[in-house]
Structures are given as structure tokens and as C-alpha cells.
């Protein structure tokens, strides 16, 4: 893997997608105004030509300014509300999803995890986050969270501690540290807030339409523009997230100087997911909605439509990017069995 080239490409793609996201917000504001202008024109035409009134209805004063102002208020207000709820800190979020502090004095596996985390923080010049463990999750997974360096955490599942070698654990932890160093948590939270704001435009239109009368005209117009903006925002947010995953994968290979570290993790997850699909949810997965977009591996469907909105590339795509070719899944062989509860 040419990890520096991969990192540069991922950053360039991110910049292009963020520019497209900003353009989508601007187009949404323009679309809302255009839709309301069309609705006003149709209403005025109906009154002057269909009804026997023959009166001229000019646009209200400050029609453009109000339309743009309300649209921006909804988008930016939704962004502020959503992001303000996520600033409680990485440890608070990890505790919400069932994680606890790592116990290196009790478990050899957790001691190994803490040692790996410390080593990689020194190698990568990253402030050491709080190590945490999801002790009741059998699936191999991990996530990093935190708005600032002093509240950041890296949490790994019990399945990762039990089934990964030291080299593979290094690849997993390096991937998560890359997210912290690159500020991906903050970026994802901000984009999620903007998408929520775009959704508020649609919801506002639905509320206006439900009032009936003239509100049905204007509410429907706002709903059409708002829905288009919300779908576009979700697609672009997912595309940005996928590029950050590629960037973190490349950074993990750079820091560990090993393709088989993170590559081995992803290939073992392939095996585990095949088992889940074969026998149903027989493995306890981490599927809390608050951290889905932060996970090393997203639990999502494989359909083409679902992939458009997925926050992660497929496992096959990531493995191919790391090795330069397709690779077979790896067997799941327990490394540690001394679980700390």
C-alpha cells in the first residue's frame, strides 16, 4: 500500500466533498426560495384567472430575505442543537453504549491493549486517550470518540481482545488514533448537525402544509426542496465518512508499517460477518446508533442502495486497498480467554 498517496487522495476527496456539501446547502436555500416563488406565482395566477377577482398580487415585502433567512435559521439552528448535544465528551458517550474503563491489572488482554495504545500514541505524537472496553460485545470492533484531546477515548470490544493478535490490535488502535488526530470525530459531528438542519427544513414544510389553506401550497413547496437537500446531505456526509475511513486505514499502515495488522483485523471481521449472516444474530454486536458512524466496522447491509448511505466502504474494498488485491477471510482463533467482567 502506498499509504502517503492514499492519505493525500483521501484528503483531496474530502475537500471536494465538503465543497459540494456547502454548495448543496446554498442550493437548498435557493431551492426553497424558488419553490416558494413558484407557489406564490401559481396561487396568484389561480386567483386572477380562475376566480372572478382579476386582482394583481405582488410578492410580499422582503419575500426573498425572509425565505433565505428562515432557511438558514433552520439549517444552522439544527446544526447548533445537534452538535451541542454531542459535546458531553468521549467518555460520556462510551459509557452510554456500555463501555467501561480498561483494567490492565486484572486482565492480560486489557493490559496488552493499554500497552499498545501507549506505544502508538508515542509513535504518532498523539495525546493518549482513555482506554475503554465493551466487555459484553463479542464482535470485533472499536471506536474513538471525543470533541477535544482531553476528553477522547478509544474503546475496543471484548471480541477484539479475545481474537486479535498483538499486531492486529496495533492496526486497529492505530486506525482509531488516526480519527482522533485528523479531527474526524468533530467533522462527523458537524456534518451530522448540518444534515439534521436540512431535515428540519423538510419538517418545517410538513408542519406548514398540515395547517391547510394557503399553507398547503407553500408547505408542499418547502417539503420538496427540503427533502432534496436532506437526501443530498446524507449522501455527501456518507461519502466524506468513507474517505476518512480510507485515510485512517492508510495512517494505520503507516504507523504500524504492517499491512497484516489492520488487514488481518478486517479479514477476521469478514469471517465473523459470514457467521452472523449464516446463523442470524448469533454474535453480540455493537449496534448503538450513537456510535455507528464511529465504529471501525459498520453493521450495515450490502445492497447497492444501502451502500450509497453507508458511512464505511465495504470490507472487500478496504482489504483490496490495503493489499492491492482481494484477500480471503481469516480464521477466528482465540488469543486470550481471561475475560474481566
Catalytic center residues: 176
Contact 48, 57 (CB under 8 A): yes
Give the angle 35-30-59 at the CA atoms, nearest 5°: 55
Cell of 177: 488514533
Other residues' Cβ atoms within 10 Å of the Cβ of residue 76? 15
Amino acid at each position: 500500500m502506498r499509504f502517503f498517496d492514499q492519505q493525500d487522495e483521501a484528503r483531496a476527496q474530502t475537500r471536494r466533498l465538503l465543497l459540494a456539501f456547502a454548495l448543496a446547502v446554498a442550493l437548498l436555500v435557493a431551492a426553497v426560495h424558488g419553490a416558494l416563488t413558484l407557489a406564490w406565482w401559481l396561487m396568484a395566477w389561480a386567483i386572477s384567472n380562475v376566480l372572478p377577482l382579476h386582482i394583481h398580487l405582488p410578492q410580499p415585502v422582503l419575500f426573498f430575505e425572509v425565505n433565505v433567512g428562515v432557511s438558514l435559521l433552520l439549517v444552522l439552528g439544527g446544526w447548533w442543537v445537534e452538535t451541542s448535544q454531542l459535546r458531553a465528551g468521549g467518555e460520556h458517550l462510551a459509557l452510554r453504549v456500555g463501555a467501561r474503563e480498561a483494567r490492565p491489572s486484572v486482565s492480560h488482554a486489557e493490559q496488552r491493549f493499554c500497552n499498545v495504545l501507549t506505544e502508538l500514541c508515542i509513535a504518532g505524537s498523539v495525546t493518549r486517550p482513555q482506554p475503554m472496553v465493551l466487555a459484553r460485545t463479542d464482535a470485533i470492533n472499536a471506536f474513538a470518540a471525543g470533541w477535544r484531546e482531553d476528553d477522547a477515548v478509544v474503546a475496543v470490544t471484548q471480541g477484539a481482545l479475545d481474537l486479535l493478535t498483538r499486531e492486529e490490535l496495533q492496526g486497529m488502535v492505530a486506525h482509531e488514533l488516526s480519527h482522533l488526530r485528523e479531527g474526524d470525530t468533530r467533522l462527523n459531528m458537524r456534518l451530522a448537525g448540518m444534515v439534521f438542519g436540512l431535515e428540519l427544513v423538510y419538517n418545517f414544510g410538513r408542519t406548514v402544509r398540515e395547517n391547510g389553506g394557503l399553507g398547503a401550497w407553500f408547505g408542499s413547496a418547502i417539503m420538496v426542496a427540503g427533502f432534496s437537500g436532506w437526501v443530498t446531505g446524507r449522501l455527501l456526509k456518507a461519502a466524506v465518512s468513507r474517505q476518512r475511513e480510507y485515510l485512517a486505514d492508510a495512517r494505520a499502515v503507516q504507523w504500524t508499517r504492517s499491512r497484516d495488522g489492520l488487514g488481518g483485523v478486517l479479514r477476521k471481521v469478514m469471517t465473523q460477518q459470514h457467521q452472523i449472516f449464516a446463523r442470524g444474530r448469533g454474535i453480540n454486536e455493537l449496534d448503538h446508533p450513537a456510535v455507528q458512524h464511529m465504529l471501525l466496522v459498520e453493521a450495515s447491509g450490502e445492497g447497492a442502495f444501502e451502500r450509497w448511505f453507508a458511512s464505511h466502504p465495504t470490507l472487500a474494498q478496504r482489504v483490496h486497498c490495503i493489499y492491492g488485491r482481494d484477500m480471503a477471510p481469516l480464521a477466528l482463533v482465540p488469543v486470550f480467554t481471561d475475560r474481566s467482567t
